[in-house]
Amino acid sequence: MNKSSLQAVRAAAAYQSTVLENGLTVRVHTMPGFTGVHAVYGTRFGSIDRELIRDGVRMKLPAGVAHFLEHKMFESEKGDAFSLFAKTGAVANAYTSFDKTCYIFTSSGNAAENLDILLDFVSHPYFTEQTIAKEQGIIGQEIKQYDDSPDWRLVFGLYRCLYQRHPIRDDIAGTVESIAEITPEMLYTCADAFYRPQNMILAVAGNVTMEQVLDACKRAQIPQKEGLIERVPVEEPQELAQTYDEISMAVSKPLFGIAFKETPPKGDALKTEIICDILTELICGSMTPLYRRLYDEGLVSPGFSGELLSLPGVLSILFGGEASDPQQVRRLLLEEIARQKSEGVDEELFILCKNQLYGELVQELENVEDVASALASSFFRGHSPADEIETLAALTIEDVNEALRTMLCEERSATLLIRPIEQP
């Protein structure tokens, strides 16, 4: 990546940013020539936020509260927010992850009206005993659907093997039992604690200007909330909860996963995250000799891959998917990791993987949904989209080899196997 390429990317990634008096961060990327608008209104409140201290009072939350709150925020005394968006022609949605909750809309017009709807319903929660009881039944069915998903069970099974105490062990939606503990008072407390402007981001991209977005914020009149909120960190030991587990499900082929518990970086995690992303591709990405062997010999299905999870107190690398011979796949994976630790990563493959990641980041600058999402996600991670591209550009093969020496250690790995249910 030469200097002129980086300059072109910086220009494409340019956006305006400001912090309002109430503490809300606003990021806007005006994209000439685009007709659509995509907005993300998000807060740092996810499934791992399970304990807080509010004005000196300690409070524990059951699993699934952030996800439950996300569902309920669309309801108000004025009606359902989805119906309001539908009248303007906008498509709305929301999602809860481990560390954040985001509310989004996409529209081809009516940007001001849709921003008014978005800022209004997220800022004015409304809950009753009756609506909560109804939602408990709805989300209970959703939880059962996740329980029937082999891929979901594989990933969370591995997290439960790696971590002893961290809330990453618990499903984002919680359990039927945990969401039964949720009350209107609990949801109002969480909304007050975490849906504070100073804890939130409004990211908008497309056919829109910063002036239009700021006007919407003025109309919303979102006040700054007083009081002190403190998250309670989890003391997670280095040791694994367990090194092996297996379950039986209605699958046609076995699913296999191996996960590595890494040491979370101190301070800025961006470089470490990029190194881990590249390592998953260097070990078992679609361009590697190992993947070609596994696939050609019918040992894995095309979806077999690696992924990174980086959160406060968590850093792990997972490899998994369908595998006809899980033990053989595990052995070959560990042998390839050991070889690269000893010999160093292949320079040509490193360049290919680096360029592939670079291409993915640049591609995110080409549509309004990806641009707004990148503005929001980078805010939660404490940097900008351009920082990610520049950190990648500066990354060397020596950086990757140095990290690999202390990462992906077999003694800090756990294996999970999902076997097909044996027919009688």
> 51, 70, 347, 402: which one is catalytic?
70
* Token pair recorded at residue 339: 């070889």
Q: Which residues pair with 37 in a beta bridge?
A: 107, 206
- Measure the CA–CA gap between 406 and 368, rounded to whole angstroms: 39
- Measure the CA–CA gap between 15 and 13, rounded to whole angstroms: 6
Q: Establish whether 336 is a catalytic residue.
A: no
- Measure the CA–CA gap between 153 and 249, rounded to whole angstroms: 10
User: Cα–chain-centroid distance for residue 90?
Assistant: 24
Catalytic residues: 70
